Amino acid sequence: MLINNFKSLGELSKQDYLVYDDLAESIGRINNPLLHLPLKNNLDMICGDGTVTFTRSTTATYVDRYGTVKSSAINAARFEKEGLLIEGGSTNKCLYSEDLTDSNWYKARTTISSNVITAPNGTTTADGLIANTENNSHATYRATSTSSSTISFSIFAKKGNKNWIALRIRLVDSSYNMLKDKLCYFDIVNGIIGNSDDVDIKNIVKCSNDYFRCEMTLVYTGSTTVAHAYTYAYSAEGNGNNMFIGDGSTVNTYFWGAQVEEMPFATSYIPTTTAAVTRAKDVFYVTYAENMPDYANEFSVLTDFDKLGEGIDYDKVFRLQNAPVYVQVNIGTDTLYVLNTGVVYQNSINFNQLYRIGLTYNKSISAFYIDGNLKGTSTPSPIASGTGEIYIGNGDSGIQQLFGHISNFRIYDIALTEKEMRIA
């Protein structure tokens, strides 16, 4: 065994042994949680007691670790490469999301070839966009009735003979007067976002079969009421250039899975045909008794999480019901807000970035950590024991969903030290 700059056991000094013993003790404490839910591919507890409950009243989709779009049954948890996916409800208002040949999809100097190639879900349902011979832009688009000033448009795209696409959202009032109109370009070979025309949020995600899910969000801040959202998918010649001459027969871009949501970011794909479809919220909680110490005693809570996007307030990373201990992400102001037996702390965060957060209480001091770094402490007032459930990725009674991923959730019946929090 080697330790401390690769010394052998025979070379260890007394101080080396003390360091090793201290490290071994810390590792032993870290590896002995009261409750541990890895949340990588199932809801199983490594340790803990009682029951784990997950509900969702509709089916839903997710992207597995290999980039394939999969469908999940009612009340079935969804695991992506980042961990357990937790989302609130959302509605795809884009009809015929997998059939761009439908008459509700308008064609601008374009024809659509139906079901010509394998889609991200493994079925042969992706359509091909074929530009005509005009030197102009070539797109398919549709109109969606809405009164929302925030619209997200997403679609899966694969290269035909063009490496780029452009997405566009145009918001108009009831008289079809323009309120806001923006484009965003995407490189669907290298997975790069190009010119974005001051688009509020944009994102690109690699999927299976050489697809990318391209996403953009437009927020209108004026006083006029929005009545319709026009959403366009273009083949593009290059970054910032959607003008080219097609030949009327060659597929320029393959498209599948269009989605229009009244949301500040794109959520998991929701298939539609003749009507809008709503995905219900995910609710996840664990038995409180035996998994959380009484608040007269020490405890620590750690978990990894990320957020899909910005703009939804008061969504919870976790909540210990009926007790003032929770972590809340207030993305509206890009902050992580924590209340932990007296600690109130805010920290700027980014969406689609993994964070490890931790709370400790040692009977006198509460502390909050981000990625192992101490961010705030306080001396809390005495509080009563909690009851109810341990809500993970949502708040009390299954509200205020995270819209993100949770993994490696742990509760300890000890207060880990600052050094231990750095390596836990």
Same domain, residue pair 362 and 352 = yes
Asked if residue 196 belongs to a domain, the reply is: yes
200/104 same-domain check: yes
CA dihedral for 109, 112, 117, 123, sign (positive or negative): positive
Q: What is the pLDDT of residue 6?
A: 42
Instruction: Give the pLDDT of residue 2.
Output: 39
* Per-residue pLDDT at 20 exceeds 80: no
Per-residue pLDDT, averaged over 87-111, amounts to: 97
Q: Is the pLDDT of residue 307 over 50?
A: yes
pLDDT digit string, tens, across residues 122-149: 999 999 999 999 999 999 999 999 999 9
Mean pLDDT for 239-256 is 97
- The answer as to whether 305 is a domain residue is yes
The answer to whether residues 101 and 218 belong to one domain is yes
Tell me what pLDDT residue 200 has. Answer: 81
The number of CA neighbours under 13 Å toward the Cβ of 347 is: 20
Residues 348 and 343: their CA atoms lie apart, in Å, by: 16
Residue 100 maps to which CATH number?
2.60.120.260
Q: Are residues 377 and 337 in the same domain?
A: yes
* pLDDT at 229 (0 to 100): 98
Tell me what the mean pLDDT of segment 383-388 comes to: 60
Q: Is position 22 within any domain?
A: no
pLDDT at 222 > cutoff 50: yes
Q: Kindly state whether residue 116 falls inside one of the protein's structural domains.
A: yes
Mean pLDDT rounded to a whole number for the chain: 87
DSSP type of residue 382: P
* In a shared domain, residues 55 and 125: no
* Residue that finishes a domain, picked among 277, 307, 335: 277
Whether residues 392 and 257 fall in one domain = no
Domain shared by 136 and 80, yes or no: no
CATH assignment at residue 379? 2.60.120.200
Residues 94 and 82 in one domain: no
CA dist 172 and 105 (Å) reads 18
Average pLDDT estimate for 226-231: 98
Spatial separation of the C-alpha atoms in residues 396 and 164, rounded to whole Å: 44
Phi, psi (deg, nearest 5) at residue 71: -105, 140
Residue 3: pLDDT band (50, 70, 90) is very low
Distance CA 314, CA 392 (A): 14
Query: For 276-287, what is each residue's pLDDT tens digit?
Result: 999 999 999 999
Tens of pLDDT, residues 316-375? 777 765 454 555 544 444 455 555 444 555 666 778 889 998 888 887 777 888 899 988
Contact 386, 379 (CB under 8 A): no
Coil, helix or strand for 373?
A: strand
Query: Which residues fall within 8 angstroms of residue 134, CB to CB, at 6 or more apart?
Result: 109, 245, 246
53 residue type, one letter:
T
- Statement to judge: residues 242 and 340 lie in one domain: no
In a domain, 24, yes or no: no
Look up the pTM and report it.
Answer: 0.90
Range of the structural domain that residue 264 is part of: 90-277
Asked if 348 and 228 sit in the same domain, the reply is: no
Task: Identify whether residues 226 and 309 lie together within a single domain.
Answer: no
Q: Are 138 and 132 in contact (CB under 8 A)?
A: yes
- Residue pLDDT, tens place only, 296-306: 788 888 999 99
Q: What percent of the chain has pLDDT over 70?
A: 86
The mean per-residue pLDDT over the stretch 188-204 comes to 91
Structural domain includes residue 149: yes
CA-wise closest residue to 185 among 129, 136, 234? 234
| Whether residue 297 sits in one domain with residue 268 | no
Residue 167, pLDDT above cutoff 90: yes
What's the pLDDT band for 60 if we cut at 50, 70, 90? very high
**Residue 5: inside a domain:** no
Residue type present at position 164: W
Question: Which of 250, 277, 304 is where one domain is finished?
Answer: 277
Total structural domains within the chain: 2
Last residue of a domain, one of 277, 298, 333: 277
Q: Examine the pLDDT at 4 and tell me if it is beyond 70.
A: no
Looking at residue 293, what is its pLDDT? 82
Which pLDDT value is given to residue 17? 43
Mean pLDDT on 3-11: 45
Residue 24: CB atoms within 10 A of its CB come to 10
